Amino acid sequence: MYQPFNEQFAAATRQFAETAAQVNRLALDNAEAVFGLQLAAIEERVNATFAFLGEAAEVRDFDSAKSLLPKGVQVARENLERSVSTGQEVFGRSLKTHGAITELAKAQFESAAKGVQTSVQTSVDNTLKAAGKAAK
């Protein structure tokens, strides 16, 4: 009596677990890519900043200090540009990942709706057949 229900529940649970595993894989791949992008950007910014600080440590007179100011502004501008660029790339990757996850969820809901619709139609057909036999 409960066998069809158990089979449907087991199939739905299996499908949900497979979808959850796919979503987790997508999210983990995105997190790995984002972490790599941010780490590379930080490394570039740190290298540029330490190179500038190395030059600043060698300053011995006022004229050298005056020529160092534009370099400092340039390093700061480049660091800001790299930060913004990395942020935009991270945002774009995250949007793509969320789009893929949304498509998986949509497919899951459509599949479940189709299964329910088929199950309901089968039940209605069986009920109509049983009512037709009972009326004869």
CB 90 within 8 A of CB 56: no
CB 55 within 8 A of CB 71: yes
Q: What is the DSSP string of 71-95?
A: HHHHHHHHHHHHHHHHHHHHHHHHH
Average pLDDT over residues 125-135: 78
Q: What is the pLDDT of residue 129?
A: 82
Q: What is the pLDDT of residue 136?
A: 63
94 domain-assigned: yes
* Phi, psi dihedrals of residue 58, rounded to the nearest 5°: -90, 0
96 domain-assigned: yes
55 domain-assigned: yes
Q: What is the pLDDT of residue 27?
A: 94
- Distance (Å, whole) CA 27 – CA 95: 11
66 domain-assigned: yes
Element (H or E) spanning 1, and its range?
Answer: none
Residues 71-116: pLDDT tens digits?
899 999 999 999 999 999 999 999 999 999 999 888 888 887 787 7
CB 104 within 8 A of CB 19: yes
Per the structure, the complete domain to which residue 79 belongs is given by 8-106
Residue 55 three-state SS? helix
53 domain-assigned: yes
Residues 45-63: pLDDT tens digits?
999 999 999 988 888 888 8
More confident residue, 33 or 114: 33
Q: What is the pLDDT of residue 39?
A: 95
pLDDT of residue 131 exceeding 80: no
- Distance (Å, whole) CA 59 – CA 54: 9
| Number of domains the chain is built from | 1
CB 34 within 8 A of CB 98: no
More confident residue, 103 or 122: 103
14 domain-assigned: yes
pLDDT of residue 1 exceeding 60: no
1 domain-assigned: no
87 domain-assigned: yes
